[in-house]
């Protein structure tokens, strides 16, 4: 059985009205509906932007016109309030459509600090891979949050949750046990990557997982990752039609890479366990 401490009861989603964050909101609402969890949305008025706008010699460049004009603190505050209003409207529409319990909060401060503080009161933080830049690379906010280590963070790129496969990697460590428990809690078709130094060790680890799943009436498909690395994991994921990877921090597959570095190689949604 999955312990109560590992069950997902409250999901936090960071919303800034960008395409990436709205995709994260859609997934958060779908997951909250599947799990019967509460959905909490947070919009942060970036205090650093407001301070920057207050400086006398700072200009902004129009994206379409390429014209420059002086940044204005009051105009910046109005823009942030307008963004927050759009985020609140999106939250109400998506949560209402999904029929989940929800709340929405606007905070002013450092984006990373406010999200990390809010994450301490939730079981899962969901982020878009990138913010307003829209690039496929991991955004600066996501990088900082992942490095700070919330216990569970789902990093996504597109707004589709109904993935056929939940894949987790298991090496016998406490974090890989938590990753497995998270996969079981979410539910769905399970694929387990057994991370081991040799085939005998892989057999032992597979027996451990199979025995646990059997007690719950569950089955999984197994793949051995013997002396594998992040690139081999990425290649394996590429062969999957659609999947979400549940990845424990400190996995031998990372080969000493930081989690942000590893995520650059993994192009599917990744749920990090820390």
Please state the domain extents for the chain.
Answer: 4-50+76-156, 165-273
On the question of pLDDT at 144 being above 60, the answer is yes
Contact call for residues 108 and 40 (beta carbons, < 8 A):
no
On the question of pLDDT at 132 being above 50, the answer is no
CATH code that applies to domain 4-50+76-156: 3.40.50.620
215-272 tens-digit pLDDT: 999 999 999 999 988 888 888 887 776 788 999 988 988 877 888 888 888 878 899 9
Which residues, at least 6 apart from 74, have a Cβ–Cβ distance to it below 8 Å? none
Q: What is the DSSP string of 251-273?
A: -GGGTT--HHHHHHH--S-EEEE
Indicate the helix (H) or strand (E) that contains 215. helix 199-215
Contact call for residues 49 and 21 (beta carbons, < 8 A):
no
- When mean pLDDT is compared across 18-27, 109-118, 139-148, 153-162, the lowest value belongs to 153-162
Who has greater pLDDT, 40 or 133? 40
What is the token pair recorded at 259?
């989690």
**The predicted structure's pLDDT at residue 133:** 47
Same CATH fold, 165-273 and 4-50+76-156?
A: yes
**The predicted structure's pLDDT at residue 66:** 47
Banded model confidence at residue 117, pLDDT cuts 50, 70, 90: very high
**The predicted structure's pLDDT at residue 56:** 64
Q: What are residue 25's phi and psi, to 5 degrees?
A: -60, -45
On the question of pLDDT at 62 being above 60, the answer is no
CATH class of 165-273: alpha beta
Contact call for residues 82 and 89 (beta carbons, < 8 A):
no
Tell me how far apart the alpha carbons of residues 81 and 87 are, in angstroms, rounded to a whole number: 10
Give the E-state strand segments of the chain in sequence order. 10-14, 38-46, 59-61, 68-70, 102-109, 124-128, 152-156, 165-170, 189-196, 221-226, 243-248, 270-273
On the question of pLDDT at 149 being above 80, the answer is no
Report how far apart, in Å, the C-alpha atoms of 244 and of each of 8, 225, 241 are. Answer: 16, 17, 10
- When mean pLDDT is compared across 60-64, 171-175, 190-194, the lowest value belongs to 60-64
What is the token pair recorded at 81?
């309030």
**The predicted structure's pLDDT at residue 107:** 95
**The predicted structure's pLDDT at residue 218:** 95
Who has greater pLDDT, 241 or 40? 40
Tell me how far apart the alpha carbons of residues 14 and 7 are, in angstroms, rounded to a whole number: 20
On the question of pLDDT at 40 being above 90, the answer is yes
Q: What is the DSSP string of 38-63?
A: EEEEEEEEEHHHHHHHTSTT-EEE-T
Name the CA radius of gyration of the chain, rounded.
20
On the question of pLDDT at 159 being above 60, the answer is no
State mean pLDDT over 126-142.
Answer: 69
**Mean predicted lDDT score pLDDT of the chain:** 85
Which residues, at least 6 apart from 32, have a Cβ–Cβ distance to it below 8 Å? 11, 38, 39, 95, 98, 100, 101, 102
């Amino acid at each position: 059985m999955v312990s109560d401490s590992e069950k997902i009861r409250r999901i936090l989603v960071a919303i800034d009205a960008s395409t990436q964050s709205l995709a994260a909101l859609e997934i958060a609402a779908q997951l909250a509906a599947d799990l019967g969890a509460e959905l909490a949305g947070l919009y942060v008025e970036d205090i650093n932007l407001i301070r920057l706008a207050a400086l006398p010699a700072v200009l902004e460049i129009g994206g379409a016109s390429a014209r420059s004009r002086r940044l204005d603190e009051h105009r910046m505050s109005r823009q942030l309030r307008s963004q927050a209003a759009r985020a609140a409207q999106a939250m109400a529409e998506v949560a209402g459509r999904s029929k989940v319990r929800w709340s929405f909060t606007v905070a002013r401060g450092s984006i990373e600090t406010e999200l990390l503080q809010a994450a301490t009161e939730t079981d899962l933080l969901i982020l878009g891979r990138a913010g307003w830049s829209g690039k496929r690379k991991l955004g600066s906010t996501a990088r900082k949050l992942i490095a700070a280590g919330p216990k569970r963070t789902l990093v996504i790129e597109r707004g589709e949750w109904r993935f056929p496969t939940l894949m987790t990697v298991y090496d016998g460590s406490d974090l890989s046990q938590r990753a497995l428990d998270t996969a079981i809690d979410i539910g769905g078709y399970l694929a387990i990557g057994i991370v081991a130094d040799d085939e005998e060790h892989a057999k032992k680890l597979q027996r451990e997982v199979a025995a646990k799943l059997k007690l719950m009436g569950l089955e999984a498909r197994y793949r051995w990752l013997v002396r594998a690395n992040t690139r081999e994991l990425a290649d394996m994921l590429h062969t999957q039609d659609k999947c979400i990877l549940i990845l424990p921090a400190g996995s031998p597959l990372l080969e000493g890479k930081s989690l942000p570095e590893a995520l650059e190689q993994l192009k599917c949604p990744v749920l990090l366990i820390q």
